[in-house]
Amino acid sequence: MILFYDIASSLPTKAWSPNAWKTRLALNHKRIPYKTIWVLYADIEKASRQLGALPTRKKIDGVTDCWTLPCIWDLSTGAIIADSTKIAIYLDATYPASPESPSSPPIRNLMPTDTTFPLFMALEASMLPLFHPLYLFAIPASDALLDERSQTAFRFKREKVHGKPMHLISPRPGTEEDKVEWAKVEAAFGMVHNWCLDTAAAGLRRAVWRSADQVGEDGMPTGIGDVLTGTGDVLTGVKVNGEQKALTNGDGEKRENTYILETLEPTYADLWLGGYLIWIKLVLPAEKWESVCGWHGGRWARLVEGLEAGGWMEVI
Ligand SMILES: N[C@@H](CCC(=O)N[C@@H](CS)C(=O)NCC(=O)O)C(=O)O
């Protein structure tokens, strides 16, 4: 059993923080039993110190330790780990998918091949600086969902960083600034979309692991070495043992390019992006999520629908 420390909000899900969503999606993906411990934003440092978690960075003074969530306490091993990326690495190392000792349901890997981890690190390093415009919208919207004591703590740092009071950080809806800054968010996601298109155009879709020479109990291909087929932006099928099969999600429904490495199930890169997409969907006005759904052939809506349908968004 894992205790998962997440930050509470007034949303029905309580969960809102993009970084904590990455860990929640990861725990759900690996089907590891866990229980959420809800912490108020104002109490992150106190709760983390009590737990014995390590600080993850420095505060804005550059000197003082800063504790952040998500954090997990694995009661089976005693490990206490803060930072979503460190947690993802720990989970795969401690609970790897193992064909030798199959469990039911089977444990999945977040990073299924040796190349997935460096690819994910490159994605994170490229995307993080591009997300600043997103913060302009999502930080004040998140602030509005916190309790008063947490708002004070949340605002202290953000208002310093942005040089304005919280209520002036977001561009006013409908203004030129609103359009320009939102277009930058679209461009950030567009960069990843273009990587995917380039990969497809170069015929590099063999970079797929969970697809191949066998079909698992769920009707999905398993193993390594198959060929995904399709044209342009849309995957239409998979060759299993040389035989063409429709690409389905297990319910016979056709699956288009849902995940960024064209895998049949998400890898950690999808869950990482999913953390931000879910943040947008949960905290911003509905028209912003509608706008995201129209970007890049609807791939981000498909990604979040895929996470919802697969049970990855469950709050336990
Ligand atoms: N690199 C960390 C960042 C986590 C993070 O920034 N968490 C925020 C909430 S989304 C937090 O706890 N902030 C507390 C603070 O800045 O004092 C991760 O990926 O887990």
Q: pLDDT of the chain along its 316 residues, tens only?
A: 999 999 999 999 999 999 999 999 999 999 899 999 999 999 999 999 999 999 999 998 899 999 999 999 999 999 999 999 999 999 999 998 876 656 667 788 899 877 788 889 999 999 999 999 999 999 999 999 999 999 999 999 999 999 999 999 999 999 999 999 999 999 999 999 888 776 655 544 433 333 333 445 544 444 433 444 443 334 445 555 555 555 444 433 344 567 887 777 889 999 999 999 999 999 999 999 999 999 998 899 999 999 998 889 999 9
The answer as to whether 278 is a domain residue is yes
71 lines ligand 1 (CB under 6 A): no
Q: Output the CA 110–ligand 1 centroid distance in Å.
A: 21
Q: Output the CA 68–ligand 1 centroid distance in Å.
A: 4
23 lines ligand 1 (CB under 6 A): no
The pLDDT score that the predictor gives to residue 169 is 97
55 lines ligand 1 (CB under 6 A): no
The answer as to whether 168 is a domain residue is yes
The span from the first CA to the last CA of the chain, in angstroms, equals 12
Q: Output the CA 165–ligand 1 centroid distance in Å.
A: 21
The answer as to whether 314 is a domain residue is no
The pLDDT score that the predictor gives to residue 248 is 44
236 lines ligand 1 (CB under 6 A): no
Pocket test for ligand 1, best of 9, 11, 19 (most atoms within 8 A of CB): 19
The answer as to whether 316 is a domain residue is no
The pLDDT score that the predictor gives to residue 227 is 43
Taking the CA of residue 236 as centre, how many other CA atoms within 13 Å lie in the half-sphere pointing to its CB? 6
The CATH number of the domain where 38 resides is what? 1.20.1050.10
Q: Which residue has the least CA distance to atom 19 on ligand 1? A: 84
CA distance 164 to 174: 20
The pLDDT score that the predictor gives to residue 235 is 46
Give the number of the atom of ligand 1 that is nearest the alpha carbon of residue 45.
17
> Which run of H or E residues covers position 143?
helix 132-143
Asked whether the beta carbons of 290 and 236 are under 8 A apart, the reply is no
Q: Output the CA 161–ligand 1 centroid distance in Å.
A: 15
For tokens 């064209």, what's the residue? 262
The pLDDT score that the predictor gives to residue 114 is 77
Q: Which residue has the least CA distance to atom 18 on ligand 1? A: 83
The answer as to whether 69 is a domain residue is yes
Question: What does pTM read for this prediction?
Answer: 0.85
Q: Output the CA 312–ligand 1 centroid distance in Å.
A: 21
The answer as to whether 230 is a domain residue is yes
Tell which residue, 178, 131, 151, 153, has the closest CA to residue 275: 131
Give the number of the atom of ligand 1 that is nearest the alpha carbon of residue 83.
20
The answer as to whether 141 is a domain residue is yes
Q: Which residue has the least CA distance to atom 6 on ligand 1? A: 68
The pLDDT score that the predictor gives to residue 106 is 73
DSSP letters of 33-54? -EEEEEE-GGGHHHHHHHHTPP
17 lines ligand 1 (CB under 6 A): yes
**β-bridge mates for residue 257, sequence order:** none
For tokens 């934003």, what's the residue? 41
85 lines ligand 1 (CB under 6 A): yes
56 lines ligand 1 (CB under 6 A): yes
The pLDDT score that the predictor gives to residue 251 is 37
| Assigned token pair, 214 | 């066998």
**β-bridge mates for residue 7, sequence order:** 39
Task: Give 168's DSSP letter.
Answer: G
The pLDDT score that the predictor gives to residue 118 is 86
The domain in which residue 36 lies consists of 2-309
The pLDDT score that the predictor gives to residue 4 is 98
CA distance 73 to 139: 27
Q: Is the dihedral of CA 171, 175, 177, 178 positive or negative?
A: positive
* Count: domains in the chain: 1
The pLDDT score that the predictor gives to residue 240 is 52
The pLDDT score that the predictor gives to residue 100 is 61
